[in-house]
Amino acid sequence: MEADLSKVCRLCLKGGEVMCPIFGASQLNGNSASLPHRIMSCAQVKVYEGDGLPTNVCTTCLSQVDRSYQFKLLCEKSDSTLRGNMHRNSASDTESLDGGDSWDMTKFTPEVIINEEADENVSLCLSI
């Protein structure tokens, strides 16, 4: 006796709960990405219409997919922002080394300070 796959959640395999279709016109639900895309972005699974597997998810899993996908987007946005800032900071560091007010060695005049006391200490160390 086969189970009715329309009553089984594709993600947790539980049945008997309120189910939401994975595919179809209602898949966007205000999100920019389809439910199959969100699922595949968060888990290493393939979700294709007509693949013979359950076509519904329970509301618990749907909520979990939405939270996971939003967290994934947040992480990617944060990473992009941080890497962009690092790139800009790196470029400005390079510009400050190469640009206008940088230190010019050809304009450097060394200052020599002679410490006579140090010379006496060196002599004492050598004679011991």
Residue positions forming the annotated binding site for Zn(2+): 9, 12, 58, 61
Sign of CA dihedral 5, 31, 26, 37: negative
- Which residue carries 């230190």 as its tokens? 103
Closest CA to 35 of 12, 13, 16, 63: 63
Q: List, as residue ranges, the binding site.
A: 9, 12, 58, 61
- What's CA 123's distance to the chain center, in Å? 62
Distance CA 96, CA 85 (A): 16
- Phi then psi for residue 12, to 5 deg, are -115, -10
Do β-strands 19-21 and 56-58 pair in parallel, antiparallel, or remain unpaired? antiparallel
Calculate ∠ Cα 21-14-74, nearest 5°: 60
